[in-house]
Amino acid sequence: MIPVQGVEGHRVAVLGLGRSGRATCSALRAGGAEVLAWDDSPETRAAAEAEGVPLHDLTRIDWSGVAMLVTSPGIPHLYPAPHPVIAAAYVAGVPVDNDIGLFFRSFSTATNMAFEAPPKVVAVTGSNGKSTTTALIHHILTEAGIAAQMAGNIGRGVLSLDPPGEGGVVVLELSSYQTDLARALTPDIAVFTNLSPDHLDRHGGPGGYFAAKRRLFAEGGPDRAIIGVDEPEGQYLGGQLAEAPEDMRVIRISSGRRLSGPGWNVFARKGYLAEYRRGKQVGSVDLRAMPGLPGAHNHQNACAAWAVARTLGLSPRLIADALASFRGLPHRSQLVAEVGGVRFINDSKATNVDAAARALQAFDRIRWIAGGLGKEGGIAGLAPHLGSVIKAYLIGHSARDFALQLGDTPHALCETMTAAVVQAARDAQPGEVVLLAPAAASFDQFPDFEKRGDAFVAAVEAWQAAFAEGQGA
């Protein structure tokens, strides 16, 4: 646990008692604060109370004497409207923060500064690829023998981490919900992967969404910024951060095009990653045969992880070996099984059109499972990426709406995950891929994308067992 600094003797309110909220309560109490905690869900409150979290109804408290409100990332604090408790804190003039802000203000203690090699923080944000990039960085560091921990929007709550020791590295995945509110954001290395429309209602539009991501780079100023420049926002951000074209504090990364110029660039083209500094190549690796990194989108993730590892002083050979041993994350281009020459790929995390497009571009001869709770615009934006789709198998609330947007692409209305997997598996021929890339939220049939991916895996495993018994024909 990382005790929160600067709260001793203060009353601190905590709203939201999920994983990060409960860790926040513990870290605040370890820092000497009196905690007033609440959650709108009776079940969550009961679970927190069972762990010893002190409950106080924040909708009825007197805000005088409360030093701060700490809120969980999923709770709206501005758009589309602030949660009533947060609105009350604003009116009372009480500062509002989240666990990410508390982490950064508490991380660099005098003890840490006494190390010969002080611990470092790497923070990763962007629309797509954050989780894979974060896990890939952590994997490379671990393979190199560096004591690394992973937290944030993946793995553990940040305040539940162990205080890092000499030369340790903390790798954080940070969503726009987390960066938007944190009052302190001071990573040593910050990564921006890419940007595509998402969470627009929460941020008041695309400008607010990008501004939330940009705060990671503008609030504290990392020592090194690694910026995906395949979209205008990344190009703008790189230009804002660099003092000159040759400024080595900014590393530009790309998947699909060669980067030039006198600075530090890492890019991947046709499956090959190359690193250039001051116009000269200093490292390269062939990504094509790496099973945990299929497709151009994962090659961008590899570029970001490569840049972080090189910033931390690791050699190209060591990084290449670690990339080759990475097996990917569940629900993100995850190879579940190969049955009768057909590969089954779980990309349940592809909850928006941009992520689904990246998945569709990563494979050939696709039996595509899509659908769920569709987002604004449906799948109209995927029209240019359907060339490899042999047939679509549609599930969930938006199945019929998606069917209307498929044009001439053959499709079947399957409704459920099990029905979609069975029909796609029966239709598939050797060499084809059954790909779950929903292009939609999961909340119509599943509580989250993980449970949706788990349902896909379970259906594939059932098919695999039936096939092995000679029933899959």
User: 127 among the known binding-site residues?
Assistant: yes
User: 131 among the known binding-site residues?
Assistant: yes
Contact, 455 vs 417, CB < 8 A?
Answer: yes
User: 24 among the known binding-site residues?
Assistant: no
By the 10 Å C-beta count (0-12 exposed, 13-18 middle, 19+ buried), 258 is classed as exposed
User: 407 among the known binding-site residues?
Assistant: no
Q: What is the dihedral of CA 203, 439, 194, 212, to 10 degrees?
A: 10
Contact, 274 vs 267, CB < 8 A?
Answer: yes
Assign 67 to helix, strand or coil.
Answer: strand
CB atoms within 10 A of CB 119: 20
HSE toward the beta carbon, residue 197, CA cutoff 13 A:
13
Integer Cα distance of 72 and 75 in angstroms: 6
| Full strand arrangement of the beta sheet holding 34-38 | 34-38, 11-15, 66-71, 96-97
The strand pair at 342-346 and 334-339 is best described as antiparallel
How much of the chain is in helix, strand and coil states, percent to nearest 5?
Answer: 35, 25, 40
Known binding positions for ATP: 126-132
Known binding positions: 126-132
